[in-house]
Structure 1
Amino acid sequence: MGDSISTRAAYGKALAELCDDENIYVFDADLKKCTMTQYFAEKYPDRFYNVGIAEANMVGIAAGFATCGATSFVNTFAIFATGRVYDQIRNSVAYPGLNVKIVGSHSGVTVGEDGATHQALEDISLMRTIPGMRVIVPCDGYETRCAVQAMMKENGPCYLRTGRGAVETITDNIQGYEFTVGKGITLAEGEDVTLIACGLMVQEAMKAREILREKKINARVIDMHTIKPIDAECVCNAARETGAIVTCEEHNIIGGLGSAVAEVLVKSDEMVPQEFVGVKDVFGHSGHPKELLEKYGLTAEKIAEKAEKAMKRKKL
């Protein structure tokens, strides 16, 4: 694995480096040092707007700019970017299909000491239920940069989920890596079980693969950076070829990646056992990020346990 950087920092740097298009505008709710939009603000002050702690207004303003041909990037913590302004996103952005990109930083339990009120564990679920909304959850800095590039080319609403803490970079050294919205990436081949992960759980899935290898179990690892549209072909191929699935996410197990994968499988001819690694329909707690990951079972060890359980449930 490579250097460590938070996906929010990678996003901020990519935004400043890649968004030289004069039609791109960035909006923030008084959190530019946290969301890392400060880099864009310093470079393009005429296209940056700090609307203050008025998230609903921010989305409305961004939507208004989009009606005039702009590509709007809206930024705040994930808990506010999806929950506090759900109505505005649904009715002012998604319903008219405007070119507004919602970027929620500080997602999941790894927000840490800020506690349950700031730990967005429902944001993927909220966004993927909105018609026309694309949902992207990059696993590292390099993939985040690729996601920003892709979002600029995609017309219409998108939700990008980023995290607070630094994560190891793994995708920059993957042979043949190519980021495409709606296409999962196989990071490691395997025929015994498939681990499908997003966000920082991709790194945990790769570690789990090594744990399983010591037990003579060969696990496939898929980086499912796009939750919507989900890569149904990738999921079905994995199910057919390995016979068991484990989904891994720093999110409620209801409505997120696991649910999206289950929806694909139940409609296909590839019904196989599926186990879920995620937060089990509870709120978060204040604590150190590493301790919280362990508390909620978001670890390589737990993924490996679930993989063995899924394998025992395989059809004979």
Structure 2
Amino acid sequence: MSDGDGTGGEFTRDMHYLTTRITEDGRDGYPVEPGRYRLIVARACPWANRAIIVRRLLGLEDVLSMGICGPVHDERSWTFDLDPGGVDPVLKIPRLQDAYFARDPHYPRGITVPAMVDVPTGAVVTNDFAQITLDLSTQWRRYHREGAPDLYPEALRDEIDEVAEPVFRDVNNGVYRCGFAASQDAYDAAYDRLFARLDQLTDRLSTQRFLVGDTITEADVRLFTTLVRFDAVYHGHFKCNRSKLTEMPVLWNYARDLFQTPGFGDTIDFTHIKQHYYMVHTNINPTRIVPKGPDLSHWLEPHNRETLGGRPFGDGTPPHPPRPAEVVPPDHWAPTSRS
């Protein structure tokens, strides 16, 4: 995740990514090949969380390995402090920046996740988070599991893109525009746009179970990773405090519907999420105190979204359980029903 100040105190995200693509035909020099690439993520990061979810829904674990960075990084880089010796076991590096510098020794921009790394060379291929998940759906299709959902169906791509663009602008990035605003006017404008968009999404989702069509698509993945962090981080830390997610019934039920769907909630690490935001953003939280809340017990309660119809996986099936090495520690996410 990168940040910067725009004019008038407005937060401006650096959107200049390494746009090299891994494609079926290898037109950029990187063909899809089982075992060749490693997806580097951090469970704390919503942009990386998209890739974690999509990889799991599509069943690409056997062909695309995944390295997980710790939740707290310094000004230099995400680090592999969760691994023995603090070194990624495949890439043999302690810091993600090493893979960026293998691509460009003078790489000038932020060291971001998710990143797709070419294992033979140790170099980052791309960190273009929006394109990564689309390519996993379209370019890696030969290696999808049996029963994998079509998250970017050709007939719905225009509508998915049309929905996803304002969701990114006003919600996914909108919470950052609130949290990192450097002036009252910039904050007020971002806040108003965020909640106006959430109100619009409430209207849309009040009559349909998913954002586009009657199955889960890329659009739902993109919205979910912001909603699931809303009460834990964005409501307080980023001052997005008109309403908690739990106070917006349609969006709360929609988020719980997805959370309870295999491949979504089982990728969420609330401990990492809170540690990252509250400990890394010292300009917002200089004490680095991590709040104990919120109460997670309601995430597994009934959402009743089934009454709207829809089939989460269409004609497909849910993904298999996560691999043992990729299971989120139960005390990091597992809400338990109150007795």
Q: Which structure has the higher relative contact order (CA within 8 Å, separation 6+)?
A: 2
Q: TM-score, normalised by structure 1?
A: 0.34
Q: TM-score, normalised by structure 2?
A: 0.33
